[in-house]
Structure 1
């Protein structure tokens, strides 16, 4: 019996030793088959379009197909559950947004995932600037004038969004928290509804991406009072950037939204590095910069998995503080 045990132990030991080089070999061979990017929204939207743009360019760089799979439903949870059930081998990624990585986890403690524990944060793809805009009927042209008007007219101001928990709703609540102004939330079904009502003078304020608002701003139908960026935007040169407001706490609004790629928890560092490098190379391509600027009014982002994780950690802390006054249903 002793001989049999020793022989079996030796065989197991040899098998284990032979298996050790396999892990780095897997990373070195990555990718050897198609990569899938899960998108939690239907085809045709900006999140889907940006995922397809980056997927196509990453496919060229990685010499393997990168396929976008749309999995809308359950406030992005369907796509997230699919990701979490996938092997952490780099072949299933998720096009995560600001709401799925930051606002929802910070404001909805009952969610079935933790972005820092259940995801491997690979990298940000694009940053989407936001615009704080008002009805042209109001005597407001800056954040400081907004604060002054609110103090002089308590309880008068309202703001619109595309619904409870949307980026516009959460950004406006962050603005209220940072400035102390008073505004009543009026939810609508779409961003277009909000713009229409502000143009008609029935609503006072909204916060949305530049993609949705620039045409109406340039036509003079709504008035931009700030952009949620560190610097002024070239296509809105007369609109102040957040730092010009003099309120450092407003930096929580930058970016308004963003796109990123994450994987299941436990991905090999070498695979993460390969994907991060591909994202950075795509973000630096002149043709990608042109499309992202012109079609999405957004900014391509470069960085590291470490800087991305620090950004998420910092933002979660800020939004959890905001969550003390903003309550969303689980």
Structure 2
């Protein structure tokens, strides 16, 4: 038996349920070429974590290796640039976080591609939300108390972020605007150093992704004030939403992020449909669903159109918040 047939037979023995998916997938992948899943952030962060968990499940579904490649830099757009230049065979894809799709086009003075025109949406993957955490010695324990403190002490409260124009910078800015307080933004080169300074008392507070903030909350190193989701998060059931505060400007507060997979412009509709089905099947694997839920993520699956529409809607929303913010 030829080598390629032996490889295919072995794959079918190990994973017979993927027969239909494998038969439809690009020939190059069936011959053993791995799929490159680009990530625009360094290893160890929340986006990288999500991509690596997802890649294992997708590998099982497709019967071919899905390899995460980290390409950080330029507000995470370097990874996107790699995908924009790639062939349209489905072997180079981008596991993108929403800020690069929805915020970066509004704040970057120079962006090497247009997310709305130069990419092919393939599949929505996950939704995530942030949680506002404060140093444990702060006097406020609720959103109402924090806002009262901020109004009594304008521009005295400092909040950190992973950098200018990031989702936790702009999410906190939106919270401040809607609640009628003024705070000082202190940008860092990532969430981790900002969290370190919240714990140490150099910062009053920060918004952080629930999945990475939860260990610090549960260990008592920081205090959680509110989550940015419209409903309470299953991993932090005792933490209220901003909307629950009763503050007029925070009614309906719903500021989250998401992960989605994109390919280069020009992919065939048939290939996109096949990849989308495989990714939705991967996300339905019980082990992966359980792990993502433990990390505070929310399921967000469906057709490519769903990903494209949310990207367009949120680009327009953030345009109203980012006026005057420029990232070189």
Structure 1 gap segments, 5+ residues each: 1-27
CA RMSD in angstroms, aligned pairs only: 2.4
1:310 maps to 309
Structure 2 gap segments, 5+ residues each: 1-22, 30-34
What does the per-residue CA deviation read over 1:108-149, in whole Å, with 9 as the maximum and x for residues that have no partner? 253121111111111222222211122333332333332222
Whether 1:250 and 2:253 are equivalent positions in the alignment is: yes
The 1:262/1:189 distance shift into structure 2, 3 A limit, reads closer
What does the per-residue CA deviation read over 1:284-329, in whole Å, with 9 as the maximum and x for residues that have no partner? 21100122233x432342122111111111110110111114x122
TM-score scaled by length of structure 2? 0.82
The 1:70/1:215 distance shift into structure 2, 3 A limit, reads closer
Correspondences of 1:1-330 after superposition (within 5 Å) = 29-34=24-29, 35-246=35-246, 247-248=250-251, 250-251=253-254, 253-255=255-257, 258-294=258-294, 296-325=295-324, 327-330=325-328
The aligned length equals 299
The 1:75/1:156 distance shift into structure 2, 3 A limit, reads closer
1:225 and 1:242 mapped to 2: Cα distance? 9
Larger mean Cα displacement after TM superposition, 201-210 or 163-172: 163-172
Residues 178 and 249, structure 1, Cα contact 8 Å, conserved in 2: no
Residues 229 and 253, structure 2, Cα contact 8 Å, conserved in 1: no
The SS at the match of 1:302 is coil
| CA deviation after TM superposition for structure 1 residue 29, in Å | 4.2
| CA deviation after TM superposition for structure 1 residue 249, in Å | 5.9
Residues 260 and 307, structure 2, Cα contact 8 Å, conserved in 1: no
| CA deviation after TM superposition for structure 1 residue 74, in Å | 3.4
| CA deviation after TM superposition for structure 1 residue 61, in Å | 2.2
1:44 and 1:221 mapped to 2: Cα distance? 20
1:194 and 1:45 mapped to 2: Cα distance? 13
The 1:84/1:230 distance shift into structure 2, 3 A limit, reads same
TM-score scaled by length of structure 1? 0.81
